[in-house]
């Protein structure tokens, strides 16, 4: 069985093709931004969001070190994606990924919140193309993490099963609040 990060990356690799439009909703240290950049190639578009300048700096350095083209690294909340999404990319997003919680190695009081995360997911669902995928890696072992986890699960459980598949993947016998994945896939219309 794969751990949550390798499994999230497997799902992205199965979904994304060169030229696609994708979103890293929480760029952090740039690991997912790098993977997305490699998957979409030079013809694709990566929108990467974070509210911390440190995250942008780390991500720029990571992309440069791996000879990846400059991507749209955005210093803003993922809740504001519509302020940055080009009109030609509306309803064309293939995939998005979130790593919820805080930026590793930084101020642990700066965390993702239920309101901004749910708002971002709602916007992404609207602009997700058929067969598109949204992955949320839920880290909830920090103050505020349980609240975000519970509100997010409640929100996603209400999605219409005729339009979306929603998966929960994680290990339940690990100590210290193990992270888990929530994945949303948009179904074809019948």
> What does the domain layout of the chain look like in residue ranges?
4-186
pLDDT tens, residue order, the chain (190 aa)? 899 999 999 999 999 999 999 999 999 999 999 999 999 999 999 999 999 999 999 999 999 999 998 799 999 999 999 999 999 999 999 999 999 988 777 777 888 888 999 999 999 999 999 999 999 999 887 778 889 999 999 999 999 999 999 999 999 888 888 999 999 999 987 6
pLDDT of residue 123: 97
Backbone angles phi, psi at 94, to 5 degrees: -85, -40
Domain 4-186: assigned CATH number: 3.40.50.150
Q: Which residues are within 8 A (CB) of 127 and not within 5 positions of it... i.e. 6 or more apart?
A: 85, 89, 90, 91, 92, 93
């Amino acid at each position: 069985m794969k751990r949550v990060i390798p499994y999230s990356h497997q799902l992205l690799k199965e979904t994304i093709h060169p030229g696609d439009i994708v979103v890293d909703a929480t760029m952090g240290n740039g690991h997912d931004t790098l993977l997305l950049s490699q998957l979409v190639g030079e013809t694709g578009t990566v929108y990467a969001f974070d509210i911390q300048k440190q995250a942008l700096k780390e991500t720029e350095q990571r992309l440069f070190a791996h000879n990846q083209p400059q991507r749209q690294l955005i210093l803003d909340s993922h809740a504001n994606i519509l302020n940055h999404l080009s009109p030609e990319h509306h309803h064309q997003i293939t995939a998005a990924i979130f790593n919820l919680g805080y930026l590793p190695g930084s101020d642990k009081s700066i965390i993702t919140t239920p309101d901004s995360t749910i708002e971002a997911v709602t916007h992404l669902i609207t602009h997700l193309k058929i067969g598109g995928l949204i992955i949320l890696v839920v880290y909830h072992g920090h103050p505020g993490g349980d609240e975000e986890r519970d509100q997010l699960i409640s929100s996603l459980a209400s999605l219409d099963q005729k339009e979306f598949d929603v998966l929960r993947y994680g290990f339940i016998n690990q100590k210290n609040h193990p992270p888990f994945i929530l994945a949303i896939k948009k179904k074809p219309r019948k």
